[in-house]
Amino acid sequence: MRSPSSLKQEFLKRWMRGLQRCTSSKKDMNVLERKKVIKLSADLAIASARNGTTSWSRALIANASRDNDNRILAERILGPESDILIKRVSTSVGTVSCNRKIRSKKILKRSCNSVRRVRKGTHLPQKVLAKSIAKRLVQKRTQILKRLVPGGEFMDELSLIEETLDYIAYLRAQVDVMRCIASATELINHD
Amino acid sequence: MEPNPGTLAGSISIRSDQEEAGFESLQFREEIQRLIAVPPENASSFTALLELPATQAMELLHSPHSEDGDPAPLSADSLHGISDDHKSYISSFNGNLAFPSNKALVERAAKFSVFASGENSPETSLVPSNSSANLEKVKSEPAETDSNPNSSQPLISDPTVESKTQRSAKRKEREKKGKGCTKKSKNETSKDAQKLPYVHVRARRGQATDSHSLAERARREKINARMKLLQELVPGCSKISGTALVLDEIINHVQSLQRQVEFLSMRLAAVNPGVDYNLEGLFATESGSLVESNFPSMVAPLVCPEIPFNGNRQHYQQQWHFDALQQPLWGREEASHTFINPENSLLSYDSANSASLHSNQLKMEL
């Protein structure tokens, strides 16, 4: 059902609508503000397209509505259905924050254990050393990935990978659509 | 042993003569169809996703040079059977599947098909077809696994030894499987794991059998399956082995995509000082399928609304449809390339150029 082209169409429609709602009021914006508006409306467009089914979309909306000045903008962009969406997002975010405390304790415990193990094993065989090194590398990279994917800090590996898959698909669609429109407008404005 | 790898390996990789490959594919296709009779109905499960790359890989491998004909109907059919979340991935790497790196892909596909079928068909019936599908598919038969009494003999015609550097890791795993007639049927999908109360995993020979390590192994297999999907999605990742490096590539890809979005939004902001995003009328009249194919005709009215664009619309539709199909294949450039590449990615834009020039001429006249 959600082939890339239909994803792009959906994204484009929502994005245009959001931009329209936003720019109808303010006529004189400098470049930075406009850029922010464009990006924000794009993010919200795709996030609302997922309708809270994926975690990163929820995190995007949550981030957008966190600081107050963005919140007004976000609400306006999302339009009439914004409060439903935001309500749904906030309920899910509440559970996330509870999980956060539990997870942070687990992470602390795990890191302590791993440090203890490594210190003991200065004379460990090569294989185990290599394994621990590899594990540490992978852990470092998953940390980075968690920071990249919105809302990814509080997920276990499995769901993190799923979210990344979805997020990459969305980013690609966004880049394609934006590139099309940008080049189209440039070409037309060129002459 | 030297000529054998060439002939038999060639039969599974892309070759000009299709008969041998056809025969192999028939055999294997039978196996696959027998094994995965049930999963395609379960459209929402992960197995539908997993096994489809296998069948698609087979199709695409044996008709490698058919660009539009074969992958398009394949994608049309296969897209129906997949859950919503994963369709975008399938169609996005449909093109990628036809590219070289076949042996690894086929191996992986074989593994997936085996695992995908494993959770639905009963364990015992899976066993001979499991090891046989694996062994036959991968086509490297070290001498040790020839001693595997049950299933290898009737199926493998001549044992071959592939290049060890390629196959050593996989072979070790299969040796483990083959040695004590170890049977391993497991449930790899997370969604089905949620549905089923138990995860059926049988311990491999020489591994701990307590529930903790079993569960952890099942979990790790799930993670590996997802990682492989990610590898296929991110371009250039399928050749890399090792989780850390693959994660590196994924991180780079996500970062570059995010940077591209930043640049593009900046570009859009700079380009449109006075654009009135008045698209209500356009969206009301046009059907959904035409929206994407009408980018220029939508944007142009924003800038010069008084010009009738109906005549050019047909022209644009074809071009943009082609372009939209090509974008997924090209959209991999680094951020620095986005400024240089709009002309490249819009190869089909030549006639569109002339049309827009024409429209601007009209504007000048008015």
Average pLDDT, chain B: 52
Are residues B89 and A178, on separate chains, in Cβ contact within 8 Å? Answer: no
Give pLDDT tens digits for B151-186: 444 444 444 443 444 444 445 444 444 444 444 444
With a pLDDT cut of 90, the percent of chain B lying above it is 1
Judging contacts by C-beta atoms under 8 Å, the chain B residues touching residue A31 are 266, 269-270
User: Contact, A56 vs A151, CB < 8 A?
Assistant: yes
Other beta carbons within 10 angstroms of residue B323's beta carbon come to 22
- Give the pLDDT band (50/70/90) at residue B77: very low
On chain A, the residues whose CB falls within 8 A of the CB of B86 are: 165
B83: three-class secondary structure by DSSP: coil
Average of pLDDT values for A23-27?
Answer: 60
For residue B261, give the nearest of A20, A149, A175 by CB distance: A175
Arithmetic mean of pLDDT, A15-20: 72
Q: Given pLDDT bands bounded at 50, 70 and 90, which one contains residue B69?
A: very low
Mean pLDDT over residues A129-138, rounded?
Answer: 90
Candidate from B88, B272, B357 with C-beta closest to A2: B88
Task: Please give the residue that has the higher pLDDT: either B130 or B62.
Answer: B62
pLDDT in tens, A83-102: 666 666 666 655 555 556 66
A145 alpha-carbon distance from chain centroid: 11
Nearest by CB: A183 against B233, B304, B342: B342
Q: Do residue B296 and residue A175 have CB atoms under 8 angstroms apart?
A: no
Angle between helix A157-190 and B243-271 (nearest 10): 30
The most confident of the ranges A64-78, B330-344, B352-366 is A64-78
A2 vs B271: CB contact, 8 Å cut-off? no
Span B103-125, pLDDT tens digits: 554 455 455 554 444 444 444 44
With contact defined as beta carbons under 8 Å apart, do A11 and A47 qualify?
no
Instruction: Tell me which chain B residue has its CA closest to the CA of residue A34.
Output: B269
Nearest CA of chain B to the CA of A151: how many Å? 14
Instruction: Determine, for residues A182 and B260 on separate chains, whether the beta-carbon distance falls below 8 Å.
Output: no
Rounded to whole angstroms, the Cα distance separating B139 from B286 reads 54
Size of chain B in residues: 366
**Residue A146 sits at the chain B interface (C-beta within 8 Å):** no
Nearest to B265 among A39, A54, A186 (CB): A39
Confidence at residue B140, expressed as pLDDT on a 0 to 100 scale = 40
Write down the H helix ranges in chain A. 4-23, 31-50, 55-64, 68-78, 82-120, 126-148, 157-190
A147 touches chain B (CB under 8 A): no
- Of B219, B244, B360, nearest to A137 by CB-CB distance is B244
Q: Are B160 and B140 in contact (CB under 8 A)?
A: yes
Is ipTM strictly over 0.95? no
- The size of the A-B interface in CB pairs under 8 A is 192
What's the CA gap between B60 and B12, in Å, rounded?
12
Contact residues on chain B for A23, CB-CB shorter than 8 A = 277
- The stretch A139-159 carries a mean pLDDT of 82
Chain position carrying tokens 């920071």 = A147
Express as a percent the part of chain B with pLDDT over 70. Answer: 17
pLDDT tens across B179-231, in order?
A: 444 444 444 444 444 555 666 666 667 667 788 889 999 988 998 888 888 88
- Length in residues, chain A: 191
Contact at CB, A31 and B279, closer than 8 angstroms: no
Which residues in chain A (67-96) have CB-CB distances under 8 A to chain B? none
> What is the reported pLDDT for B256?
93
Q: Which residues in B lie closer than 8 A to residue A39 (C-beta atoms)?
A: 261-262, 265
What percent of chain A is modeled with pLDDT above 70? 47
Task: Please give the average per-residue pLDDT across A107-133, as a whole number.
Answer: 70
Q: Cα dihedral angle (B227, B230, B234, B238), rounded to 10 degrees?
A: 50
Whether residue A181 and residue B288 make contact (CB cut-off 8 A), yes or no, is no
Q: How far is CA B227 from CA B93, B224, B301, in A?
A: 15, 5, 45
The CA angle B67-B71-B75, to the nearest 5 degrees, is 155
CB distance from A130 to chain B under 8 Å? no
Backbone φ/ψ region at A151: left (φ over 0), alpha (ψ -120 to 50), beta: left
What's the confidence (pLDDT) of residue A26?
59
CA atoms lying within 13 Å on the CB side of residue B279: 23
Partners of residue A148 in chain B, C-beta under 8 Å: 251, 254-255, 258
CB-closest option in A9, A42, A165 to B233: A165
Distance CA B44, CA B42 (A): 6
Of B277, B324, B345, the CB nearest to A19: B277
- Per-residue model confidence as pLDDT tens digits over B258-304: 898 888 887 777 766 555 554 443 444 443 444 444 444 444 444 44
Burial per residue of B286-300, b for 16 or more beta-carbon CB atoms within 10 angstroms, e otherwise = beeebbbbbbbbbbb
Partners of residue A150 in chain B, C-beta under 8 Å:
none
pLDDT for res B96: 44
Secondary structure (3-state) at A165: helix
Residues of chain A found within 8 Å of residue B338, distances taken between Cβ atoms: 179
pLDDT the model gives residue A72: 65
- CB count within 10 Å of CB A16 equals 21
Question: Is B292's CB within 8 Å of A8's CB?
Answer: yes
Residue B319 has pLDDT above 70, yes or no: no
- What pLDDT shows up at residue B227? 86
**Which residues from B are below 8 Å from A138, CB to CB?**
243-244, 247
Cβ contacts of A38 within 8 Å, gap of 6 or more: A19, B265, B268, B269
Whether residues A182 and B268 touch (CB distance < 8 A) is answered with: yes
Please give the residue that has the higher pLDDT: either B325 or A109: A109
Residue that has been written with the tokens 């990006």 in this structure: A39
* Helix, coil or strand: residue B64: coil
Give the rounded distance of the alpha carbon of B357 from its chain centre. Answer: 40
B349–A39 CB contact, under 8 Å: no
Is there a contact between A189 and B303 if contact means CB atoms under 8 Å apart? Answer: yes
Distances (CA, A) of B21 to A69, B7, B24, B59, B73: 63, 11, 5, 11, 21
